[in-house]
Structure 1
Amino acid sequence: MAKFKKRNHQEDALREIRKAEKKALVTKIQIEKRALVIMASGLGKTVLSAFYAKEWLKRHGGRVLYLCDQNYILEQAEVTFRSIIGGASSYGFFHGQEKTAHRVTFLFSSFQTMRESRNGFKQKEFSLVIVDESHHSHAETYLPTLEYFLPKFTLAMTATPDRTDLEDIREIYGKEIFSFPIETALAKGLLAKVNYQVVTDELQNLDFLKTPVGKLSIKALNKRIFVKKRDKEIADIIKRKMSHISNARTIIFCPSVYYCEHLSKYLPNSLPIHSKMSSREQDLRLKAFRNGTANTILTVDKFNEGVDVPETNVVIFLRSTASPTIFFQQLGRGLRKVDGKECVHVLDFVVNCERIEMLDGFWNKVRKNVKDVEKKGSLKGPVNIDVGSIRFTSVARDVLSVIAKIRGGYTKEVLMQQLQDLAKELRRVPMTREVDKASKKGVCATAETFANIFGSFNKALIEAKLGVNIRKGYSKKELIP
């Protein structure tokens, strides 16, 4: 059984959790009895929670409830807790496939099963509740369980606190007490080096990049330049790239269940895993990947969270997502450091303007964090940090340059037309949030761009002859400086 030692960032987190615990024990306000820890995938959130649970039992005793939404995460957590806390404590499961009948110290439960059976437990049954992947907490399956139990303390953990539906988990747990994001972890060398390649082969209509900026839009760029590759062509590129990687252990994120099954036919020694299979079949295939019987797994969203296969050294994106949260969850599957793993190789076939722009912004953040680490000298010895690279082809660089011009080089005429088109689609004057939502789809500029060029967003509306959005209690004079 693996032996675990606390790492420096885990010690830092534990100090903050202890402070939150002290406050929780003297307050009657429920949200103050909860603490949120944000930590990038691959940094050991489960290990952290096990060390803390061990401390908690020594100080307070009682029972511990560990909640998550995936059975395989619960099984991994139980193994980790048993290794750190030891066999003297009792452990059990409470989910669709297994329900421990006798009383145990540590109960590892799925949210789904606990929601259906929570009334069979006393509200103060558990002194400590640990919530893994806590960014789901607003969901209907989760919230009733969280509101039912009244533990002395709740510890919530996630790598990705910001949800795609904009529901803020801080409403449930309060502001995070400790945060260690992915860009900081990469800069400090705590995650595997990333060798990221954006596959931009065979882009078409490149002369379109020379179109005057005032007549360009992100939507038009995506439509004219980026071409979807054929399945066999993608499989051939994957096989060619992987032939240069020794002991490749690969996770491929696909756009659909059909695509998982279809593409696996072109890739030898690969297995699809998806929600259309029974839980038992999924578990068997995951075990085959873990033990090396299969070296490639194709999936849709099953591996976004919690699956721990540290040996994974290739991540391939075929699935487009507008959500940075999902992207970083999937990238995180390959970031855990283990002996013998030099780096994680990433192939990204999801090429569009938004993806290129997001990757460029992310890597700029990583580089900034590297400079901060070097400046502060927070690493021992001579500082020479190698976090890897994101390789953009010259064409991708050209696209980035055009995107920057589009974002910052709009003419007033183009912007007014964008507002008028959006108003026509909505059948009313657009609000700033609607403009920003449309901007993410490449339909128009951001509300901030309108404000910068016209002096304020409402001035842009007036020049576009659309009138002004007036909220109750504000005059036109106050809204239009």
Structure 2
Amino acid sequence: MPDLPSGLYDELVTLALRRRLEDPALQADTAPLSPDTASEALARHVFRFAAAVLSSVKGKEPERITRQVELTNRLLDALAELDGAVDPEDRVTAERLLQVLRRDQVRLGAGELPRPSIPLRHSDLIVNGPKDLRVGREIQREMVSADRVDVLVSFVKWTGFVEIRDALRAFRDRHGGRPPLRVLTTTYMGATDHEALDALRELGAEVRVSYDTRRTRLHAKAWLFHRDSGFSTGIVGSSNLSHSALRDGCEWNVRLSNVDNPTILRKFEATFAQYWDEGAFEDYDRDRFLEVLAARRNPERDALAAAVRMHPYPHQTAVLEALEAERAAGHRHNLVVAATGTGKTVIAALDYVALCKRLGRRPSLLFVAHRREILEKSRATYRAALGDGAFGELLTGNDKPLVARHVFASIQSLHGRRLGDLARDAYDVVVVDEFHHAEADTYTALLEHLTPAFLLGLTATPERTDGRSILHWFDGRVAAESRLWDALDQGLLVPFQYFGVDDQTDLSQIDFRAGRYSITALERVYTADEHRAEQVLRALTDRVRDPTRMRALGFCVSVKHAAFMAAFFQRKGLPAVAVTGESRDDERRSAVRRLASGELCALFTVDVFNEGVDIPAVDTVLFLRPTESATLYLQQLGRGLRLHDDKSCLTVLDFIGRANRRFRFDRRFGAMLGGGTRAEVRHAVEEGFPRLPSGCSIQLEEEAQRSVLENIRRTLSSWGSLAEDLVEDWPLGTFLDRADVELRELYLAGRCFTGLRERRGYVESVPDTAITRALPRLLHVDDLDRLTRWRLWLAEDRPPTPDLSDPHQRMLFAALGQAGRPVEELGAFLDELWADPVVLIEVRQLLEVLDDRRRKGTHALAGLPFRVHATYSRDEVSAGLGEVRQGKLLRTQGGVYKCADHRCDVLFVTLEKDEKDFTPTTLYNDYPLSQRRFHWESQGTTRLESSTGRRYREPPADWRILLFVRQAKKDERKLTMPYLFLGPVRCVSASGERPIQIVWELEYPMPAGWFNEVKIAAG
């Protein structure tokens, strides 16, 4: 037997393989089978040998086939004895393959339904070669026999439409003139012919278009041919709908069969469904299509059209939902933080529309900005949102309003006597753009004078460079943040290529206090000689195509450092200047203009370009200083992320040295990753950042990665480090703010805040009880009902009277680790909780923090103690429903259970069923199709006509089906992840059986932020 080659494997360890692995010359890494993928792996193993046995059968035809059928039936009989999923009806009865099935009302002759050239059970590669199939002809043959067709192409040409027109007509006629054909395409590059889209519509196709002419998130070319028989097929590859691509172009396309590649087609179907239902693709309208193409040739008109896009992106919807929840909780002064270019004004306009609907009138409005251009664009956005071209008046140096009820005013026009003459309550709604200017005297005077019912601040930069906070205008709170990650995924910003470069500096001994290095010490290290500057230049030459044509911003540690770098670049033939707080305004404006025009290659600055300066042409960002602040880091990164015709991505060079032990690398990488604990960031660094927004990449040089990981591991939730940060016996909320610690990092498994206080000597020893061990499992509690009821009880000196009929008492019992205890001991549990005042104080403080951080709206359901879009553990669900078995709460293991008392079925769904990062065989069983629809797979033995199957499809009038969904089994702390309650659902389609594939329609749309996080599709 030949030696086993070295390399990667994905093979079951058989007895024979185990013996071979005993060779002392071999080093084998093995892993346990995952419970969620074991069945698929074992089935493949059985298939391999079943196919070999059947192939080895000897004899002449047809006796050989008869023998193969007999062997197959023997195998099925053996399986039927083991599990009810196989029954005698599954035996093969004849040596025939069913190829076509017709019903009486469908009159099709044998010649009228041509079969694809590639058998329905097989996959193949089509290359348009001289002796190969042509993809255009195969599309036509596939289409005629399909029950539904979905098409996804970047552009549609008239020549491509004509190529397949006859097949489209045959498909239409077969379906009685109403062909189930859906087409997704784009206006990108103006390549799509409107005549082709008109013709598709005339044939009855549904056509949706991305009207974004500047960029496209759609590069895929794919066709999905659904067949109700189960023999669906797909074609995925390089061919758009054009004559050359379909006929003779050098194109590669893979034809996929649902028989041998069901997972890929399921992923195709799920992703297409998400594209179809998301707002980026809108119904084709000929006039709008032509207008958008015309606007593409007029950049100013195109920019205005983009500015007034009134279908919010998912990340904008999430912000609007958060604002609604804040106001419902009584917070009427709210700050929104969103990266430049992500549509802050659209958010403000749509928020105003929502206020109009809620109040039943248009409240008076004052929108404040510092430039007339911003005011004009903002007014246009509000007009588009309201559908009122006459809305709003300008107040500037040259413009005076007549009515002054809805005013877009420059801050310069609101000062002195004019401000004094303005009634304090003149405006119901005040919106301040670029709110980080609020500490300037003119803004402060305005905000102190006015008393609006609603204040909305908009900013990309909540951290001011002068250190003055703006949060005091908002009770110390940020209402909502639009994550940079989401804006990148939506294509609102250019993607970035990040390179972490080892600069060979040692900062480990430099003084580090209050989250900052000594500026003087850093300056000495960076300007003592040109060694580090040479490193910077080498990295640029290696990673930037032509440094002489780049437009770079370099963020330096000091004025001297910026001047040093500019002088060095000048000597190396790269025109550069330093722009700092000491530069005159005209010098800054000139430098920005020269960089944008290409006259300069680089600007080196300290803090000048952190905020408020828009240079879309910047294509390179150099981080030449260690920045720990996540907000400041994102501000600087954001300077280069604006869309511009001359760049397809931003190049980021971050120069990393050996850091002081208290420096936090996890903050900057957490910011780039869209959030996360230190453990999550460490995992991302170790794995090479596998999950990033579309088009983005992060690469760390080996030594830089080693430095980053060493730093993160050293600071990773160190109990001693956290104890050092507890310099006073603060309440929990104060400690989290002062120490800048994530709640999830503090409450790792087995930890609690009281334990930290004990370590510092502020309290006596903490008992190890089920209650203290359960505290980390309280972090998901996020609804008003539980928090209000529990906090009211806990505020009292004595426990409430035990009441087993109260679902919230039962849920508190379950949440604090008592689910395995007889429910009759509810009173004893309450006594135990109140008996330890130190732990009781922590529970009170933890619930206070959770209540303060509650940011989402939830919805009550009649007759149930749950709120839609709140989060619950399984034990809490059982407790809330009062499901008790043998005196204890029911602890369900399966994904479904029936609750007769509350007349409902409860569905528990885990989206990522394997604990590994990516498992294609389990990822596409259950998934959201849109914010309103969810694809779900029943248990493996459920049939359509079983009592359960019928109840799912057509439940009694008083019966509800409740859907609880979580992303994974474990969270980043390795604790069991709770479920988001998506509310009642109803079946809109059901197909197949054992399992049944069901599409549920939700009574309440999923939260936009959550949907954007868990959906399959990018963008």
Task: Report the TM range for the smaller structure's normalisation.
Answer: 0.5 to 0.7
Query: CA 1:249 to 1:90, structure 2 compared with 1: closer, same or farther past 3 Å?
Result: farther
Deviation at 1:314, TM superposition (A): 0.8
In the alignment, which residue of structure 1 is the partner of 2:670? Answer: 361
Query: CA 1:458 to 1:30, structure 2 compared with 1: closer, same or farther past 3 Å?
Result: closer
In the alignment, which residue of structure 1 is the partner of 2:838? Answer: 479
Out of 653, 656, 659, the position equivalent to 1:347 is: 653
CA distance in 1, matches of 2:643, 2:372: 21
Contact 2:673 2:692 in 1 (8 A): no
In the alignment, which residue of structure 2 is the partner of 1:182? Answer: 484
Contact 2:576 2:603 in 1 (8 A): yes
Out of 575, 582, 601, the position equivalent to 1:295 is: 601
Deviation at 1:345, TM superposition (A): 0.8
Deviation at 1:31, TM superposition (A): 5.8
SS of structure 1 residue aligned to 2:608? coil
In the alignment, which residue of structure 1 is the partner of 2:710? Answer: 402
CA distance in 1, matches of 2:343, 2:758: 50
In the alignment, which residue of structure 1 is the partner of 2:497? Answer: 195
CA distance in 2, matches of 1:270, 1:45: 33
Q: Given the alignment of the two structures, is residue 40 of structure 1 paired with residue 331 of structure 2, yes or no? A: no
After TM superposition, the score normalised by the length of structure 2 is 0.34
After TM superposition, the score normalised by the length of structure 1 is 0.65
Deviation at 1:404, TM superposition (A): 4.6
Q: Given the alignment of the two structures, is residue 274 of structure 1 paired with residue 633 of structure 2, yes or no? A: no
| 1:34-433 correspondence runs (5 A) | 36-46=335-345, 64-67=366-369, 74=371, 77-78=374-375, 80-81=377-378, 91=394, 93=396, 100=397, 103-104=400-401, 106-109=408-411, 114=415, 118-119=419-420, 121-123=422-424, 129-134=430-435, 137=438, 142-150=443-451, 154-159=455-460, 168=471, 171=474, 176=479, 179-203=481-505, 228-230=525-527, 232-243=530-541, 244-246=544-546, 247-268=549-570, 269-349=575-655, 351=657, 352=659, 354-365=663-674, 386-408=694-716
Which of the pair has the greater relative contact order for Cα pairs under 8 Å at 6+ separation?
1
CA distance in 1, matches of 2:604, 2:391: 39
Query: CA 1:172 to 1:132, structure 2 compared with 1: closer, same or farther past 3 Å?
Result: farther
Look at both structures and tell me which one has the larger radius of gyration over its CA atoms.
2
Contact 1:161 1:169 in 2 (8 A): no
In the alignment, which residue of structure 2 is the partner of 1:379? Answer: none
- The CA deviation string for residues 237-272 of structure 1, in whole angstroms up to 9 with x for no partner, is 444444433441111122223333332222232233
CA distance in 2, matches of 1:205, 1:280: 36
Out of 312, 316, 321, the position equivalent to 1:9 is: 312
Contact 1:250 1:312 in 2 (8 A): yes
- Structure 2 unaligned spans of 5+: 1-299, 384-388, 402-406, 678-690, 766-795, 798-833, 841-1019
- The CA deviation string for residues 319-338 of structure 1, in whole angstroms up to 9 with x for no partner, is 43332111111111111223
Deviation at 1:395, TM superposition (A): 2.4
Query: CA 1:336 to 1:12, structure 2 compared with 1: closer, same or farther past 3 Å?
Result: same
In the alignment, which residue of structure 2 is the partner of 1:71? Answer: none
Contact 2:550 2:619 in 1 (8 A): yes
In the alignment, which residue of structure 2 is the partner of 1:96? Answer: none
Deviation at 1:339, TM superposition (A): 3.0
- The CA deviation string for residues 427-479 of structure 1, in whole angstroms up to 9 with x for no partner, is x87887897789779xxxx87689839971222123xxx7669xxx9999522
Query: CA 1:119 to 1:341, structure 2 compared with 1: closer, same or farther past 3 Å?
Result: same
Contact 2:640 2:650 in 1 (8 A): yes
- The CA deviation string for residues 163-214 of structure 1, in whole angstroms up to 9 with x for no partner, is 88787468359873x65311222334432111112221325699x9xxxxxx
How many pairs align?
417
CA distance in 2, matches of 1:150, 1:410: 46
Contact 1:218 1:403 in 2 (8 A): no
Q: Match for 2:487: what amino acid?
A: A
In the alignment, which residue of structure 2 is the partner of 1:457? Answer: 756
Contact 1:36 1:173 in 2 (8 A): no
CA distance in 1, matches of 2:577, 2:364: 43
In the alignment, which residue of structure 1 is the partner of 2:891? Answer: none
Deviation at 1:61, TM superposition (A): 9.8
SS of structure 2 residue aligned to 1:335? coil
Query: CA 1:360 to 1:266, structure 2 compared with 1: closer, same or farther past 3 Å?
Result: same
Contact 1:189 1:387 in 2 (8 A): no
SS of structure 2 residue aligned to 1:315? strand
CA distance in 2, matches of 1:257, 1:333: 19
CA distance in 2, matches of 1:38, 1:184: 13
CA distance in 1, matches of 2:433, 2:713: 42
Deviation at 1:347, TM superposition (A): 1.4
- The CA deviation string for residues 43-97 of structure 1, in whole angstroms up to 9 with x for no partner, is 132466579899999x8597744145xxxxx36524644876799987565xxxx
Query: CA 1:3 to 1:148, structure 2 compared with 1: closer, same or farther past 3 Å?
Result: same
SS of structure 2 residue aligned to 1:306? coil
SS of structure 2 residue aligned to 1:289? helix
Contact 2:551 2:601 in 1 (8 A): yes
Contact 1:65 1:129 in 2 (8 A): yes
Deviation at 1:300, TM superposition (A): 2.0
Most deviating of 39-48 and 343-352: 39-48
SS of structure 2 residue aligned to 1:338? coil
Deviation at 1:157, TM superposition (A): 1.5
Query: CA 1:438 to 1:320, structure 2 compared with 1: closer, same or farther past 3 Å?
Result: farther
Between Structure 1 and Structure 2, which shows a larger proportion of helix residues? 1
Query: CA 1:60 to 1:229, structure 2 compared with 1: closer, same or farther past 3 Å?
Result: same
